[in-house]
């Protein structure tokens, strides 16, 4: 509670006392280059970066001075795969029968808070109940504290597929979900489902191209969309300027998604070299979510944590993701950072950096995946991804240099989003 009031005091102080801030940065990693610039000043006016100057510039009486001289300063991190509404626990499958949307929303406020304070100023939420849209609106209005959210609202599935909301329930509750509920079985359904997501307030589109680990269904990797259905989703999404993503574990469904024009493959567990080369050819991004793989593999060994039908899937698929990531990275597939937080704990997102670098990715490339590459994937590079004049002032400071020690990404001591300070240990 003390931390909660401190954050609001920081916001109030920034908004009432000044609209210009001078950040004196001991080390600046602007992500335009892979080098560190020493003793720099970043000047922020309102929500944008006004200029970047060498040395510690004099601060006018009308501006705020922020002392980050003993910190490494860089753009806010971006996580391209989270589920902000929930977090894994043994009661999650029961909760959908006992929680109202208001319960989900109130519970999710702390996940939004944790994510932002961990240095993740922008996230892509890839599926929930629709509460994610309300959370985005509340954050944008300043009613709650959290990252900038781009949400898919409800993931698109096929009947009985991963993200069919009626999976695992008794017969009289199953019904026959259709495009309105995010379930499609034809090209026509695909168009209607995407248009419904637009109507519901989504910012992007996600499909579940294969079976999944945590759905209450036996198949965790078989294909669940045709190429034509994928293409219809992508074409419909293009009409609204939406970026598309495909959950995929098995190779065939993954290949169909890439051939259909999907913008990113999520998880990619059984990705083959053929698919890697196809992704390179088409410019498809890979969002690995190693954190989730490790989490489900660990929890599947705990009796009762998951329903029995999920356990063998988690034990098989979970441990494979890191090795697939290593192969895809070394082959040249474009990588964007994503954790699947919500499956793994919110606020621990930065652990993914360590999982990526321990199998060969350089520290700079790992940081790039969560800044420059993530912005490129979402078509928001004009505003985010680097510290440059004119871009939004999403700026974080770390205790330690992450180019030397990647664990510094978990030691975030300062967070600014849209020019407002949400965390400071000064």
Residues 367-404 have pLDDT tens digits of: 999 999 999 999 999 999 999 999 999 999 999 999 99
CA-to-CA distance for 242 and 193, rounded, in angstroms? 13
Give the pLDDT band (50/70/90) at residue 313. Answer: confident
What confidence tens digit (pLDDT) does each residue in 62-75 have? 999 999 999 999 99
Question: CA distances (Å), 383 to each of 83, 305, 387, in order?
Answer: 23, 41, 10
DSSP 392-403: B--EEEESS-TT
Whether pLDDT at 162 is above 90: no
Q: Are 225 and 209 in contact (CB under 8 A)?
A: yes
Which class for 200: exposed (0-12), middle (13-18), buried (19 or more C-beta within 10 A)?
middle
Whether pLDDT at 122 is above 80: yes
Whether pLDDT at 89 is above 90: no
Alpha-helix residue ranges (DSSP H) falling in 176-263: 187-200, 227-239, 251-259
Q: Are strands 120-125 and 77-82 parallel, antiparallel or unpaired?
A: parallel
What confidence tens digit (pLDDT) does each residue in 221-254 have? 889 999 999 999 999 999 999 999 999 999 999 9
CA–CA–CA angle 37, 38, 41 (5° rounding): 90
E-only strand ranges, 277-419:
285-287, 334-335, 395-398, 412-417
Ramachandran class of 207: left when φ > 0, alpha when ψ lies in -120 to 50, beta otherwise: beta
For range 356-371, the mean pLDDT: 98
Ramachandran class of 53: left when φ > 0, alpha when ψ lies in -120 to 50, beta otherwise: beta
pLDDT given at position 11: 52
417 Cβ neighbours under 8 A, 6+ residues apart: 76, 116, 121, 147, 148, 393, 394
Beta-sheet strand order (sheet of 420-424): 48-54, 37-45, 20-28, 64-75, 395-398, 412-417, 420-424
CA-to-CA distance for 198 and 179, rounded, in angstroms? 12
Which tops the pLDDT comparison, 1 or 368? Answer: 368
Domains of the chain: 2-75+387-424 (2.30.40.10), 77-377 (3.20.20.140)
Helix (H, G, I), strand (E, B) or coil at 200: helix
Which tops the pLDDT comparison, 99 or 92? Answer: 99
Whether pLDDT at 426 is above 70: no
- How does DSSP classify residue 419? T
pTM (2 decimals)? 0.93
372 Cβ neighbours under 8 A, 6+ residues apart: 31, 381, 385, 386
For range 302-313, the mean pLDDT: 89
For range 56-62, the mean pLDDT: 95
Whether pLDDT at 410 is above 70: yes
Which tops the pLDDT comparison, 94 or 239? Answer: 239
Whether pLDDT at 13 is above 60: no
Least confident of 197-201, 209-213, 350-354: 209-213
Whether pLDDT at 219 is above 80: no
pLDDT given at position 258: 98
pLDDT given at position 7: 52
For range 171-193, the mean pLDDT: 92
Whether pLDDT at 4 is above 80: no
E-only strand ranges, 295-410:
334-335, 395-398
Beta-bridged to residue 417, according to DSSP, are 420
For range 131-156, the mean pLDDT: 97
For range 16-30, the mean pLDDT: 85
pLDDT given at position 164: 76
- Cα torsion 37, 39, 40, 43 to 10°: value is 150
Q: Are strands 37-45 and 20-28 parallel, antiparallel or unpaired?
A: antiparallel
Give the pLDDT band (50/70/90) at residue 95. Answer: confident
3-state secondary structure 59-107: CCCCCEEEEEEEEEEEECEEEEEECCCCCCCCCHHHHHHHCCHHHHHHH
* Helix 273-282, helix 251-259: angle, nearest 10: 20
Residue 37 CA from chain centroid, whole number: 28
pLDDT given at position 161: 83
Q: What is the mean pLDDT of the chain?
A: 93
For range 85-113, the mean pLDDT: 90
224 Cβ neighbours under 8 A, 6+ residues apart: 157, 158, 161, 162, 208, 209, 210, 211, 253
């Amino acid at each position: 509670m003390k931390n909660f009031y401190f954050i609001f005091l920081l916001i109030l102080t920034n908004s009432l006392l000044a609209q210009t801030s001078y950040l004196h940065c001991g080390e600046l990693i602007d992500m335009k280059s892979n080098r560190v610039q020493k003793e720099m000043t970043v000047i922020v006016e309102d929500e944008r970066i006004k200029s970047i100057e060498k040395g510690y510039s004099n601060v006018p009486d009308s501006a705020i001075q922020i002392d980050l001289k003993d910190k490494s300063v860089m753009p806010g991190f971006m996580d391209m795969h989270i589920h902000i509404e929930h977090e894994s626990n043994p009661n999650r499958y029961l909760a959908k029968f006992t929680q109202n949307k208001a319960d989900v929303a109130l519970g999710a406020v702390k996940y939004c808070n944790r994510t932002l304070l961990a240095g993740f100023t922008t996230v892509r939420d890839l599926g929930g109940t629709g509460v994610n849209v309300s959370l985005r609106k509340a954050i944008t209005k300043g009613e709650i504290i959290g990252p900038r959210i781009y949400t898919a609202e409800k993931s698109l599935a096929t009947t009985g597929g991963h993200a069919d909301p009626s999976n695992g329930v008794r017969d009289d509750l199953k019904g026959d979900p259709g495009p309105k509920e995010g379930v499609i079985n034809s090209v026509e359904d695909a168009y209607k489902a995407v248009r419904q997501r637009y109507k519901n307030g989504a910012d992007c589109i996600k499909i579940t191209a294969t079976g999944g680990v945590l759905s209450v269904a036996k198949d965790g990797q078989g294909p669940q969309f045709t190429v034509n259905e994928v293409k219809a989703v992508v074409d419909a999404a293009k009409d609204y300027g939406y970026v598309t993503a495909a959950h995929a574990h098995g190779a065939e469904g993954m290949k169909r998604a890439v051939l259909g024009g999907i913008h990113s493959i999520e998880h990619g567990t059984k990705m083959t070299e053929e698919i890697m080369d196809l992704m390179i050819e088409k410019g498809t991004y890979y969002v690995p979510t190693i954190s989730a793989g490790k989490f489900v593999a660990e929890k599947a060994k705990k009796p009762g944590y998951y329903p029995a039908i999920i356990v063998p899937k988690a034990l098989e698929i979970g441990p494979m993701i890191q090795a697939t990531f290593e192969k895809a990275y070394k082959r040249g597939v474009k990588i964007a950072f994503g954790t699947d937080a919500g499956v793994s704990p919110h606020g621990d997102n930065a652990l993914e950096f360590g999982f990526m670098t321990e199998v060969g990715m350089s520290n700079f490339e790992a940081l790039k995946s969560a800044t420059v590459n993530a912005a490129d994937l979402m078509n928001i590079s004009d505003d985010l991804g680097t510290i440059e004049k004119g871009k939004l002032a999403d700026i974080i400071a770390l205790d330690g240099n992450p180019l030397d020690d990647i664990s510094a990404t978990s030691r975030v001591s300062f967070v600014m989003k849209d020019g407002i300070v949400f965390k400071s240990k000064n």
